[in-house]
Amino acid sequence: MLARRGGAPLDGDTPHAPQGASPQKRIMATGFYSHADCLLHDMGQWHPECPARLQAIEDQLIASRIDSLIERESAPLADEAALLRVHTQAHIDYIRSRSPPEGMAEIDPDTTMNPHTLQAALRAAGAAVAATDAVIEGRYDNAFCSVRPPGHHAEPARAMGFCFFNNIAIAARHALEVHGLGRVAIIDFDVHHGNGTEAAFSGDSRVLMCSFFQHPFYPFTGADNQAPNMCNVPLPARSKGMAVREAVDMLWLPRLHEFKPEMLFISAGFDAHREDDLGNMGLVEDDYAWITDQMREIAKRYSRGRIVSCLEGGYNLSALGRSVVAHMRSLAGI
């Protein structure tokens, strides 16, 4: 039986169990945020951060038969106030000024805008904010944002690495400053270090950021001079799932138990998968499910189960789709 939005069954949905029988296990309500505008951002046929990524996720959701177990939501546009909680006015103005009426505009050698990029970036950030509202208000237990462009490389005053606005940082700051949460944790399991997220929160005692990433590797940050609220774990190329699980168990989990976050945010990059050519690590779908299971247990213990996850990397289309399904199965408790 599916729970309705808000996490509780509709009146009359749950039959009275016979005396002595175990109550029926409730499937967690998981929101799924996306928008067709996110398909229109296109940096060229050669570019790995392509619209087909979102379609690969959709295809795998349908093939796995869990599509009917998630609640779909259309991502709104983020407003300027939400962006300004992380980014400078000059950065926002620059991105708007670079939005081309036609053709392409280069931000850096790997990051370009087409006429639809700005709208897609606002949808991606808006999805993260809307999912945060819905989870905190109790309409969903947790949520996944299937959006692009990704965000974790976007610094407060600089777009880079395929990223324009830092979706997960915007969502976390929204939880802190709009909803008044006192402590949030950000989990980043992309193969690349989330330099933009670290730049936004370094030294902020309200935020604990836990990440692992291939090192040395783009953007060549995160391994040195960590602030006290950062738990970055640089891993060598060819690291496999057992090394990652050991890092999570020995380094992340003690910090998370000590911190007791009131909500978790996940930068869900799937490019550490062994089939992904943009990295050189060896994770598989079961590793992503295991990591998500650990984070769900932390959230159940300290955060009322509240998790918002946003897509970051993942460029082998088949591996991406399968990994997102594994991640979402864990989020939904199925």
Q: How far apart, in whole angstroms, are the C-alpha atoms of residue 256 and residue 236?
A: 24
Q: How far apart, in whole angstroms, are the C-alpha atoms of residue 328 and residue 296?
A: 11
State yes or no: is 192 an active-site residue.
Answer: no
Check if the beta carbon of residue 265 is closer than 8 Å to that of residue 173: no
Residues 6+ apart with CB under 8 A from 261: 183, 184, 185, 208, 298, 299, 302, 303
**At 3, phi and psi to the nearest 5?**
-80, 150
Which residue among 41, 91, 153, 193 is the active-site one? Answer: 153
Question: Is 213 in a helix, a strand, or coil?
Answer: strand
Q: How far apart, in whole angstroms, are the C-alpha atoms of residue 55 and residue 39?
A: 8
Hey, what are 140's tokens? 């969903």
Question: Is 194 in a helix, a strand, or coil?
Answer: coil
Q: How far apart, in whole angstroms, are the C-alpha atoms of residue 145 and residue 130?
A: 10
Query: What does the CA dihedral 315, 278, 103, 83 come to, rounded to 10 degrees?
Result: 80
Report, as residue numbers or ranges, the catalytic residues: 153
